[in-house]
Amino acid sequence: MTRRGILKLIGFGFLGTLGYSFLRAIMHLSSRPPKRVYLPSSEIEKIKTKLLLGEDFILVKEGEAFLGFSRKCPHLGCKLNFDPQRNLILCPCHGSRFTPQGKYLAGPAKKNLKPLQLSLSERGVTIEITN
Amino acid sequence: MKLLTKLIPRNFNLDLAYFSFLALTICIFSGLILSFHYFPEKPLLSVVNLEATVPFGKFYRALHYFSAQMAVISLFLHLLDALRLKLFLVKSNRGWFFLGLSLPILLYLAFSGYILRGDETGELAGSIAENLTSSIPLLGKPISNLFFAISQVGVHRVYLWHLYFSFLLLTGLLLWHISLNRVFSYLKFFYLALLFLPALFFYPSLKPWGNLQARGPWFFVGAQSMLKFLDERFVFFYLLLFPFIYQAFVIWKKNPTPLFWILIAYLGLYLIFSLMGI
């Protein structure tokens, strides 16, 4: 191999390494820490339809107990909505349907809603939202 | 094919190319004005502010929106008509390659523009794009992080790519596909009017979901419909297929007939799904 050939190879190797490190650096993102949402009892008492849609969560009142779910559809992450007439949680993008208890009914999601950890106290409910 | 040749005017392809380029140029310049008032950390607020406080803000946004739609439609027709005229036989490989690449780039630009509005439907479109890309084995997550990462950093990356790709597209077209002399010699007032008039009379509204359904931009309706029935990885690869089929015409230029049929089947299927989604 000629001197020029070797230098070319080293040049490409250098550029490749640089490109790889650059791509690695911009593709890496550290995941967000979990978010905690606190709902005081006064807010919970306002739930009239047994279900509360938060920005990132769904809070369901089951008698005296509570269930919490992520508001992201397990299919492609669309923000879920609630249809009070049919008493169903619906995905507005691809039509997946879930019961208010988070059970999968129909559509492309094929999974139940992701449950969230709840901490109940006399003052209210704390919901831990993970990614 | 003969009937098509009889029906379509002689300079149709050139007109489409010119119109598409003009639409893209107007879109980029109106986008430049918008970018002064757009802050990706507050997307929806930026758009609302732009319309409420910037003089002619509403008009610039409408012009940006409608010229982008016109660019997508006319570029798509230009691509199809170039196949009808078998221009892959005469165009340089590089010129053809960039033409084929220009449609996915423009579609990404139009799609990212839809996300950047920051309203509810824009948010949903962003979420779908991010999760759809992430579903690809191995490379999905890094690609999604590179181009979207909306759940992590909001619309910042989408905004940056929206800017970068606009200039990449314009520069690439000027370097490898278009002759500027030809563009200037072809200036038609009628085309300018066609691009400006919709922005004067129509308004691209910021909408919440209608009837508990979110469809996304019009060219994505077929994909949305596919996602209801088919695996997301299949849909992702299906959407990526068009530029590859298009480039294949250069490789098999001596016998392109099977490719024509593949392309017709490909577009036909997408059209059926789009109609199902309406």
Interchain CB distance below 8 Å, A76 and B128: yes
How many Cβ pairs within 8 Å bridge chains A and B?
A: 66
In the stretch 58-97 of chain A, residues with CB closer than 8 A to chain B read 72, 75-79, 81, 83, 90, 92-95
Work out the pLDDT band at B89, boundaries 50, 70, 90: confident
Average pLDDT, chain B: 87
First to last CA, chain B: 30
Crossing angle of the two packed helices B232-251 and B120-134, in degrees rounded to 10: 80
Mutant choice from A94, A96, A97, A110 vs B, greatest count of B C-beta within 10 A:
A94
pLDDT at B187 over 90: no
pLDDT at B31: 94
pLDDT at B211: 57
Interchain CB distance below 8 Å, B124 and A92: yes
pLDDT at B6 over 80: no
Backbone angles phi, psi at A74, to 5 degrees: -65, -10
Report which secondary-structure segment, H or E, holds B173. Answer: helix B156-176
Average pLDDT over residues B183-208: 80
Q: Please, how many CA atoms are within 13 Å of residue A73, restricted to the half-sphere of its CB? A: 30
More confident residue, B64 or B5: B64
Q: Taking a C-beta distance cutoff of 8 angstroms, is the pair B74, B23 a contact? A: yes
Considering only A84-98, B120-134, B144-158, B184-198, which range has the smallest mean pLDDT? B184-198
pLDDT at A38: 86
Sign (positive or negative) of CA dihedral B128, B131, B137, B139: positive
Chain A residue with minimum CA distance to B128: A76
Distances (CA, A) of A71 to A55, A79, B61: 8, 6, 31
pLDDT at A131: 66
Instruction: Give B116: exposed, middle or buried? Use CB within 10 Å, 0-12, 13-18, 19+.
Output: buried
More confident residue, B155 or B177: B155
% of chain B surpassing 90 pLDDT: 46
ipTM: 0.75
Query: Nearest-5° angle of CA B34, CA B37, CA B38?
Result: 80
Work out the pLDDT band at B106, boundaries 50, 70, 90: very high
More confident residue, A78 or A25: A78
Render pLDDT for B12-63 as a digit per residue (tens, 0 to 9): 888 888 889 899 999 999 999 999 999 999 999 999 999 899 999 999 999 9
